[in-house]
Structure formats: C-alpha cells, structure tokens
Amino acid sequence: MQQALIESLGDELFDALRAGRVLEPLSTRHPDMSIEHAYAVQQRLIARRLADGETVVGKKIGVTSKAVMDMLGVYQPDFGWLLSGMVFDDGCTIERSSLIQPKAEGEIAFVLKRALRGPGIGAADVLAATECVMPCFEIVDSRIRDWKIRIQDTVADNASCGVFVLGDRAVSPRDLDLYACGMVLEKNGEVFATGAGAAALGSPLHAVAWLANTLGRLGIALEPGEVILSGALAAMAPIAAGDQFRVSIGGLGSCSVRFA
C-alpha cells in the first residue's frame, strides 16, 4: 500500500471524526490492507489530531474480552492512543451528538509512575510501575458504518477510541486482586452486564504487559503519568441520549456518566 494512500485514509478518518460521519469499511475498499498498513493509517490519524491541538495522555488496549470479540467478530487485541480531547471526569454529562455510534465499556484504568518499555515486560513489572488503578468507562466509537469492522478497520480507526471517563477514586493495585475483582455495569439503573478482571486477557496486568511488549517492539514506551486502559471486562452497551451508566468494580469503587 502506497504512502499516499495511507495518508489519504488517515485524513478520511480524521475528517469523519470531526464531521461526525461514517465511512464504508476500509478493509472492504482495500482488501490488500495489512495490519501493519492499518497501524500506519492510525499514525496518520493521530498526527492530524496532534496537529489540531491535542496531546497524548495515554494508550489503550482493545478487543481483550471474549464478549467484545464475539460482538465485533475481531479475535485479537489491538492498541490505540488516548488524547487530551478524550478525557472526562466521573459523573459528567456527555452530549450524545458529539459521538457517532458509541458504546460503553467498563474497564480498569492504570496510571503509571514509571515507564514500561518492552519487550520482556511481565505482570510483576506492570504492578511495580503502576501508581494507582481506577474504575473507568471507555466510550468506544467507530467511524466505520454500523461497526462492520475487521481488525484492519478498528486498528486504522485508533482502536475505535471515542472518549473515556475516569472514576474519582485511585487505589493501589497492590491492595487488590485484579484477576478476581468483579464488575457490574448498570444502564439506566438496571444491570446490563457483569464481568471480572480475568476477562481482560486473563488479568488487566497481563493486558498492560501485552501492550507494553507490543509497543516496545515498535520502539514506543508506556510513559510515567500516562493513563492506560486495560480492556473491557464485559460486553459493550449501546448508548442513546438520556442514558445513564454506572460501573462498579470490587475494591476500586465506581464511575458514572450520563448522555444528553
């Protein structure tokens, strides 16, 4: 795939993001697109957002749980970049019209105190490098029509990042069993889904290690102060205007968000 086409596709995704519109799947239009090509498109999209005034605040791993894999038909993890324009606080109200086709995921967010530079990173390294963990919502969104994505589509689209909402309680990961901690995701006061830390590649620690090692092979580190989203612990919940969500995770507390 030629560099000019890679840049053109990244520009398409940026324009779709800013205009709030969808595109036909890139993988259908360009069946020769590899995952490597898709990450190059992602880099073009991120470069456009950075040039537009945003800054990098962290990174995310996507498609970690079987529930999400089955919903999307994508069966391997991917990664994306968290930018300053994506951050919201616990209890906030987000305009549904600011997103395209969003879905809510309950996750555990890690805040790092030391860099993680793969390869060779294990769960113990992640634990030692983590300042705190927090309950959070990742509001995934897709610029690809009707979420008809293959792995190349979601990778190119920055791992289907939308925005994220951090809880107001920070907890030391050394005080928790991140494998066994249970999660309850409520939508409009009713339980929508339940899960546990083990849903994210066996443990959120393993998910962050996977991310550090995958990025490390590309010469990219997880940096001190960055927020790392470790992956959904249950199925994604569709969002409409007026919906209210709450996620509670054992030992971490809760996080809530409303859509107007």
pLDDT digits 0-9 by tens, 142-196: 999 999 988 899 999 999 999 999 998 999 998 888 888 999 999 999 999 999 8
pLDDT-derived band at 123, boundaries 50, 70, 90: very high
pLDDT in tens, 17-39: 999 999 999 999 999 999 899 99
Q: How many helical (H) and strand (E) elements, i.e. helices and strands, does the chain have?
A: 7, 13
pTM, two decimal places: 0.93
Domain positions in the chain are 56-259
- CATH 3.90.850.10 fits domain 56-259: yes
pLDDT in tens, 195-253: 988 777 778 999 999 899 989 988 999 999 999 999 988 889 999 999 999 999 999 99
pLDDT-derived band at 65, boundaries 50, 70, 90: low
Is pLDDT above 80 for 69? Answer: no
**Whole-angstrom distance, CA of residue 54 vs CA of residue 50:** 5
Q: Which residue has the tokens 């209210």?
A: 244
Do residues 64 and 205 lie in contact, with contact meaning Cβ atoms separated by under 8 Å?
Answer: no
